[in-house]
Amino acid sequence: MRKPPNRKPNSACDVCGKEIYRRPSTMKINAKKLCSRSCRNKVYPLKPEQCNGPKFPKGEKNPAWKGGTTLKRAKGNYKGVRYVRCPQEWMEMARKDGYIMEHRLVMAQHLNRVLTRQEVVHHLDHNPANNKIENLMLFANNSLHKKFEAREHN
What pTM value is reported for the model? 0.59
Structural domain range at position 88: 68-153
pLDDT, residue 51, reads: 65
State whether 147 and 73 are in the same domain. Answer: yes
Task: For residues 65 and 57, give the distance between their C-alpha atoms in angstroms, rounded to a whole number.
Answer: 10
Amino acid at 20: I
**CA neighbor of 84 nearest in space, from 98, 96, 64:** 98
Could you tell me if 39 and 85 lie in one domain? no
Residue 95 belongs to some domain of the structure: yes
Same domain (yes/no): 44, 73: no
User: Are residues 87 and 116 both part of a single domain?
Assistant: yes
Quick one: pLDDT at residue 33? 83
Q: How many helices (H) and strands (E) does the chain have?
A: 4, 7
The predicted-structure confidence for 129-149, as pLDDT tens digits, reads as follows: 899 999 999 999 999 999 999
Distance of CA 125 to the CA centre of its chain: 30
Taking only the tens place, the pLDDT of each residue in 79-133 is 778 899 999 999 999 999 889 999 999 999 999 999 999 999 999 998 888 999 9
Look at residue 6 and tell me if it is in a domain: no
Total domain count, the chain: 2
The DSSP line for 88-101 is GGGGGGS-TTSEEE
CA distance 146 to 67: 33
User: Does residue 62 lie within any of the structural domains?
Assistant: no
